[in-house]
Structure 1
């Protein structure tokens, strides 16, 4: 843990140096709980229903000790399976007495004492995806419970929805949350079935799932990536496209594939919600999740989502405008062997200049060129650059 703390400190110091100019002048409405994509952790990808209050408290502790809190990871989110099989005598959701004997309020207090925020889960249906009590037609009482407990984030799923219109169901919970007076990030998880990017803001969402669930595999990650093409204009400060949570560190992909996963999710302004076991995170995983330069790209206050510039089959070029005038570029190789990928500064959206400053966002190496970007990209890998016109 001591080595990870030192690593985190070094990465954070680099982030502060690199992002001062990009974040200067950042403004957002005080009532906006998601001016930048939310960052944190969620229990589902690694633990599914195998959760309890000890896991959540230890994860909050590990988020601080590992440097993730200092890097911007804020939310400790409990997914499905936290609730008891029945509501209480007053019709309120209650925590499972065996898994969470101290209750959600005590858990929120622990998380808040660490300088973090607590997220919770329900579904816009009669039951959650795991068959536990959910919030359809119980929106007001459940929203009041969440607020009274000190919840800061709600992931609202789509299981057992009775075939009722999504806009109606998600609007009801949004209104109930707003009526509590507590600032709660509202994560709409209806799997992209009703083009939520077109109406997520209208129903009060701060982020909306654009896809089905991710799994810890290369094919799943790339499939979800493909579904982000063409919807980038619907994402921005206060409302974000969500291609689902990170699988970094869960073991189903290589570190090279995880670096590509993280590079692309950062470029997409995706919510950066880690899904690994933070208590036993190894150094390669920490280096990915704590990459300060890609976090800075993801959290850039201008909030413009990255987009696919070019698709050459097994190789792709992605770019994202950054608020200081630079452009983040990802050269992405889907192939089973190393490939040379190149792009021009013009096609990624940079203005004409005699020279360009190029920084590798994984190695920190800097160079200058006359407008040609290129690299040999490993199989299932990505190279990420930040490029400035001139000597900026």
Structure 2
């Protein structure tokens, strides 16, 4: 599909009706920008794709909204309910996108009202190309129309994919949609799903709130699932691709390691590790399981508020690997108030016993300027999965499960405490 020029597109919008014309051509007071007040900490929510793919309709979305509330996930921070690919119908005679009338007969505005009434926010999906990854109408040449439509529906979040984009400039395409969202006037979180092909971390800070750093995730610990022309990645391959990216992350901008696969077939220890890694590295926490029927164990993992708090820490500093011992990796994350989080990640197929000598470690973060010397500053700590407590006066004797983690949160103790 040949992209329309901006003047022609704005002209098409003008003749729909006066309100749309004013929203699309209203001059901005300043240069277009993303909505900076959004996603100061990584976004949290739920997305349809990992479980349902194209098998979606408005009944499912209403059930998911109710489940987010009933399960306690909304109150734990999961506020975005995101409809992924395949909601699309056709464009009308003026080029405005319509939802699939069979799957969404009540329309998106009614669905947004239902979601908002439950204290949630509605997310939607489109693509920078002429077609989405599932072959539905993409936004190429219709960016300003689509942004205006989403605003009128009451959408709060846009995941923007990168299929059918041969010949397009990624920075240009994503900046165009950013400008369209700003012109439409409704604050909408902008999630770039470009798979890291064009290194969005280098140019997207002022374009979107998060950007994918890899291809799609697959619910396995350490594998690649071959899909022919591309492969989905397990937890460890995605983690390993984050090396050297932490300097690009911060409040309002984060490296997106894709959606969560908790509750999708891995072991409980693998799910805990997966969730902890995503939290420590400040990835968005977007659940992808069937929240209507999840087990108590899955719900407990996804609503572990102590782990979530690491992800939502106001400093927004992404963890880094400061040490490793064979198959045991150790990550550190500075937190607000001078606190720290340490994660011990066992990549191995068997449990690992390890004694961590606090006196031997002076941890320095060159990016944030944070540092701590556990041998000179006594800290108390809490194991965020078991609840066990201790302090740094003596070495920590740890047992890290196979394909699992131990996550400790440390607080400085005053002298004599």
Fold-level similarity (TM above 0.5): yes
Q: Give CA deviations for 1:124-169 in whole Å, capped at 9, x if unaligned.
A: 1010000110001110000000100000000000000122110110
Q: Work out whether 1:145 is the aligned partner of 2:128.
A: no
Match of 2:254 among 234, 240, 256: 240
Contact 1:317–1:343 (CA under 8 A) maintained in structure 2: no
Q: Work out whether 1:180 is the aligned partner of 2:184.
A: yes
* Residues 26-41 of structure 1 aligned to structure 2 (within 5 Å): 31-41=36-46
Unaligned runs of 5+ in 1: 1-28
Counterparts of 2:42 and 2:189 in 1: how far apart (Å)?
11
Alignment partner of 1:100: what SS? coil
Contact 2:280–2:333 (CA under 8 A) maintained in structure 1: yes
Aligned residue number for residue 124 of structure 2: 120
Query: Would the alpha carbon gap of residues 36 and 340 (structure 1) be closer, same or farther in structure 2, given more than 3 Å must change?
Result: same
Aligned residue number for residue 166 of structure 1: 170
CA RMSD of the aligned region, Å? Answer: 1.6
Q: Give CA deviations for 1:313-346 in whole Å, capped at 9, x if unaligned.
A: 4210011100111111110001011112454553
Match of 1:351 among 365, 368, 373: 373
Give, in angstroms, the shift of residue 369 of structure 1.
Answer: 2.4
Moved over 4 A (4+): 342-345
Aligned residue number for residue 281 of structure 1: 294
Q: Give CA deviations for 1:253-295 in whole Å, capped at 9, x if unaligned.
A: 1011000000111101110000111111111001100001011
Alignment partner of 2:336: what SS? coil
Query: Would the alpha carbon gap of residues 342 and 44 (structure 1) be closer, same or farther in structure 2, given more than 3 Å must change?
Result: farther
Give, in angstroms, the shift of residue 32 of structure 1.
Answer: 1.2
Give, in angstroms, the shift of residue 358 of structure 1.
Answer: 1.2
Counterparts of 2:349 and 2:155 in 1: how far apart (Å)?
44
Match of 1:208 among 207, 211, 227: 211
* Residues 37-52 of structure 1 aligned to structure 2 (within 5 Å): 37-52=42-57
Aligned residue number for residue 263 of structure 1: 276
- TM-score under structure 1 length normalisation: 0.89
* Residues 279-358 of structure 1 aligned to structure 2 (within 5 Å): 279-345=292-358, 346-348=361-363, 349-352=371-374, 353=376, 355-358=378-381
Match of 2:99 among 89, 95, 111: 95
Match of 1:229 among 243, 254, 273: 243
Counterparts of 1:369 and 1:250 in 2: how far apart (Å)?
37
Alignment length (residue pairs): 361
Alignment partner of 2:81: what SS? strand
Q: Work out whether 1:390 is the aligned partner of 2:413.
A: yes
Query: Would the alpha carbon gap of residues 342 and 174 (structure 1) be closer, same or farther in structure 2, given more than 3 Å must change?
Result: farther
The structure number with the bigger radius of gyration is 2
